[in-house]
Structure 1
Amino acid sequence: MNFSIQATQGNARACSFELAHGIVQTPIFMPVGTQGIIKGLDSIDIKTFLQTNLILANTYHLYLRPGIDLLQQAHGIHNFANFHGNYLTDSGGFQAFSLSGNAKPSDDGIAFKSHIDGSSHFFSPKKVLDIEYAINSDIMMILDDLVGLPASKGRLLDSIKRTSIWAKQSIEYHNRNKQEREIKNTIFAIMQGGIDYEMRKRSAMDLVELEFDGYAIGGLAVGESSEEMYACLDYACDFLPIHKPRYLMGVGTPENLLECIDRGVDMFDCVMPTRNARNATIFTSYGKLHIKNACYKNDFTPLDLECQCYTCKNYTRAYLHHLFRSAEISYHRLASLHNLSFYLALVRGAREAIMQQEWNHYKKEKLRDLQINLESKMK
C-alpha cells in the first residue's frame, strides 16, 4: 500500500493511500453497507450524490447471504452491487460479540449459529480471509476477539493473546496467497486491550511486528464513556506506526469524529447516520433535529441551510416530515443521503483544514456549532 502523509497539525493528519479501486484521502468516514450496499441507497446514489469511494460491508452477513459461491460467480462484490469504488470488510469479530449466546470463541476461531436459520458455522482466521477473497475486499479486516467493557484484566489478556495468534495465522496465510497468485487485497490488523494502557501497548507491539498494511483500534465504543475513549486514544494511536493508516472501528457521533481526528485517527465507520435517519433524527450544522416533530409540518426550509446535498437542494423539512409520518420508503433514502452527506462533508472539511493549517479553528467552531439546539429555539 502506498501511504503518504500530506499534512499534520498537532496529531491530526491528512493522508492518502492507494487501493485497487481508487485513491483514498483521509480523514475519511466509511458509510456502512452491511449487505454490500448502503441501506436504502444504490450504487448510483453513492457515486452521484455521496461521491465517496470507500464503504464498509459485512463479512458475516455476506457469508450467510448471498454466500461465497454466488459472490465468486459474480467475480466479487464490486460487480454484484455495481459499486466500483473500494470496499472494506469487517472480520466477523463484532458479530461474535453482538450475537452473544449464539457465538462462542475458542483458540481456533469462533463457532456461531446463523441468526437467519440457526445453522451452525465456524470462522477461523483462514476461513475469514477466504470469505473476504471471495468478496474481493479492497481492505480485509482479520478475525479478532472483541471484548465489551467493563472487562477484567484476565479477559482482556485472553482477548489480546487470541487476537495476536489469529493475526499471525492471518498474515502468514495472506502472504502465501500473495506469492501463489496475483491479489490486490490489503489486510488490516485490529488492536484490542480495552481502556488499559499496558494492555493496549502489548496488543499493539504484537501486531506491529507482523507488518500489516494498516491497523485498526477495536474494542472501543462498546460500553466506555466518550471521555474514557478519548483518553485511550491519546496513547493508543502513539503505539501504532506513523506510516500506516489508523482506523477506529464503530465510531461515532460528529463530535466523536472531530475529537478522534484530533488524536490521530484517519478512518471511521458507524451505522449512526443511516440508522438515526431512519428513526427521524437528522444531523445538521447546528445540532440535531427530529423530523417527526410537529414543528416541521409547515417548515419549508431545507433540512440544513448550509448543506449542499441532494436532499437539501430539492426538498424541505415539511416534505420530509410528511414522508416520515406517512411511512413512505422514499423518506429513508432522502434522510440517509442527507445524514451521510453531512458526515462526509465534516471529514472533508477536516482534511482541508489540516491541509491549510486551520484545524484547531475548524474543530473549535464545529464543536461549538454542533452543541446548538435548533429545536429549543423553535418552541
Structure 2
Amino acid sequence: MSAPFSFQINSRDGAARTGAIHLPRGTIRTPAFMPVGTAATVKAMHTHEVKSLGADVLLGNTYHLMLRPGAERVARLGGLHKMMNWSHPILTDSGGFQVMSLAKLRKLNEKGVTFQSHIDGSRYELTPERAIEIQGLLGSDIQMQLDECVRLPCSDADAARAMRLSLRWAERCQKAFSEQPGRVEFGRALFGIVQGGANRELRVESARELTAMDFQGYSIGGLAVGEPQDVMLDMIETVIPHLPDEKPHYLMGVGTPDDLVEAVRRGIDMFDCVMPTRAGRHGQVFSRFGKINIRNARHADDPRPIDEASSWEPARTYSRAYLHHLVKAGEILGMMLLTGINLAYYQELMAGMRHAIAEQRLDDFIAQTKDGWARGDG
C-alpha cells in the first residue's frame, strides 16, 4: 500500500508558512504555484520543461477532460499521468468554475449541472458523484469537490444559495470519494471548497461546515472572479482562522505576482492560475522588473535578455529584440519562450518566499520584490 497523503509545516513567519505535501507520486513544496494544464497540457510547454522550472504539481480540469478526450478514454490509456508524460502529482479542479463561466450553456439544480458542450453542443450531466468518478478515472492525486462558483459582485442571497448547495454537494463528494477505486492504493486526497461570495458571515459558515466534514485540505474558491484585490484579501483573512491550521490552504484561480505574495503573507499554501501561460502567449512577460509588454516598439532594437539572473536559460540568452520579432511575426516559438519565462519567474517567486519565510524575513522580501517591480527594467 502506498503512503497516504500528508502535510507538514516546516517554518512560519506570521501567518505565512512553508511546508510539504507528501504524496506517493512526489512531494509538493509549499507555498506552491501549480501551472495549469486544463486539457492535459500546459499550453506551449513540454512537461519535462515545466518540471525543470521547479513545478512539483500540475492542475487538470474535470469539465474539459470530460468533454475531450473523455475520462473513460484517459483511463483506458493508463490515466492522465501516463497520457501527458507527467509522473508527479496532479490536482484536478472539479468543474465548478465552469458552472459559472459557462452559465449560458448549463442548467443547475440540486442533483447537479447539465451542460451543453461548448465544443459540439452535446449534453452532459455533471453531478458530485460523477465529478468524483471522473477524477478517479483520470487518476488525479488531489481531487476537488464539485461546487457552485458565483461571479462577483453578487447578492448575499445568491451567494448563500450557492454556498449551501456547495456544502450539500461536498457531503455527496465525500461519500463518492470514500468509495472510489484506487483511493487508498494511490494515496489520493479530496479538498473541500469554501464559498460565500464577498460576505464574511457566509464565508465563515462555509469554512466551519467544511471543517466539520474533515477533508484532507481546504480551498478558498469564488475569488479572482471580478472583485478588487482588497475584497479578495479580506475574504482570505476572514476564512483562514476558521480552517484547520494543520491542513493545506489552497486559493483557487489566483493570480498576479502581487496576489501571490499578499496571499502567502496571509497563510495560503497553494495557488493555480492561467495568467502566466495565457500572458506569455500574448506577449506579456512577468519578471523581477515587473510586467513587460514585449510587443512594444521600444523592444525592437533591445539586445538585452529578459533577465540575466533568471533560473531558466532562455530568459538569459534570447534578446528582447528577438522575442519582439517572434511575437510580432506570430511565431509559435515566441509563445513557447515567453510562457516558459513566465512560469520560471512564478516558480522563482515561490522559491524566494519559501526561503524568506524559513528565515523569518518575508515582509522584507515582499518589500524588495515590489520595489523591483516599481523600478522596472531601466
> Whole-Å Cα distance in 2 between the matches of residues 181 and 162 of structure 1?
28
1:23-82 Cα distance to aligned partner (Å, 9 max, x none): 1110011001111120001122123x3132201111111111111121111121110011
Cα distance, 1:96–1:13 mapped onto 2, change above 3 Å: same
> Whole-Å Cα distance in 2 between the matches of residues 160 and 22 of structure 1?
33
TM alignment of 1:197-208, pairs within 5 A: 197-208=200-211
> Whole-Å Cα distance in 1 between the matches of residues 122 and 20 of structure 2?
42
Amino acid of the structure 2 residue aligned with 1:192: Q
Give the match for residue 269 of structure 1: 272
- The yes-or-no answer on 1:248 pairing with 2:251 is yes
308, 312, 316: which is aligned to 2:311? 308
Give the match for residue 4 of structure 1: 8
TM alignment of 1:1-379, pairs within 5 A: 1-47=5-51, 49-177=52-180, 182-374=185-377
State the 1:225 CA deviation.
0.6
> Whole-Å Cα distance in 2 between the matches of residues 61 and 242 of structure 1?
32
> Whole-Å Cα distance in 2 between the matches of residues 267 and 342 of structure 1?
16
Cα distance, 1:98–1:65 mapped onto 2, change above 3 Å: same
Gaps of 5+ in 1: none
1:234-268 Cα distance to aligned partner (Å, 9 max, x none): 12111111011000011111011000000000001
> Whole-Å Cα distance in 1 between the matches of residues 70 and 93 of structure 2?
16
State the 1:176 CA deviation.
2.9
State the 1:98 CA deviation.
0.4
Amino acid of the structure 1 residue aligned with 2:131: V
Q: Is the 8 A contact 2:15 2:265 kept in 1?
A: yes
> Whole-Å Cα distance in 2 between the matches of residues 225 and 37 of structure 1?
30
User: Is the partner of 2:246 in helix, strand or coil?
Assistant: coil
Amino acid of the structure 1 residue aligned with 2:328: R
Tell me the TM-score normalised to structure 1 length.
Answer: 0.96
Amino acid of the structure 2 residue aligned with 1:280: G
Q: Is the 8 A contact 2:287 2:345 kept in 1?
A: yes
> Whole-Å Cα distance in 2 between the matches of residues 308 and 45 of structure 1?
12
Q: Is the 8 A contact 2:37 2:59 kept in 1?
A: yes
User: Is the partner of 1:209 in helix, strand or coil?
Assistant: helix
Tell me the TM-score normalised to structure 2 length.
Answer: 0.96
Amino acid of the structure 2 residue aligned with 1:142: Q
User: Is the partner of 1:149 in helix, strand or coil?
Assistant: coil
Aligned residues: 374
> Whole-Å Cα distance in 2 between the matches of residues 364 and 178 of structure 1?
47
1:294-331 Cα distance to aligned partner (Å, 9 max, x none): 11112111112331212113311111111111111011
Cα distance, 1:358–1:299 mapped onto 2, change above 3 Å: same
Q: Is the 8 A contact 1:146 1:219 kept in 2?
A: yes
State the 1:279 CA deviation.
1.0
Amino acid of the structure 1 residue aligned with 2:241: D
Gaps of 5+ in 2: none
Q: Is the 8 A contact 2:136 2:180 kept in 1?
A: no
1:257-283 Cα distance to aligned partner (Å, 9 max, x none): 000000000001111101111111111
Q: CA RMSD in A?
A: 1.4
> Whole-Å Cα distance in 2 between the matches of residues 369 and 142 of structure 1?
39
> Whole-Å Cα distance in 2 between the matches of residues 180 and 82 of structure 1?
21
Displaced runs of 4+ in structure 1, greater than 2 A?
A: 176-184, 371-374
User: Is the partner of 1:57 in helix, strand or coil?
Assistant: strand
> Whole-Å Cα distance in 2 between the matches of residues 26 and 181 of structure 1?
23
State the 1:371 CA deviation.
2.3
Cα distance, 1:180–1:353 mapped onto 2, change above 3 Å: closer
> Whole-Å Cα distance in 1 between the matches of residues 180 and 104 of structure 2?
34
State the 1:20 CA deviation.
2.5
State the 1:179 CA deviation.
9.3
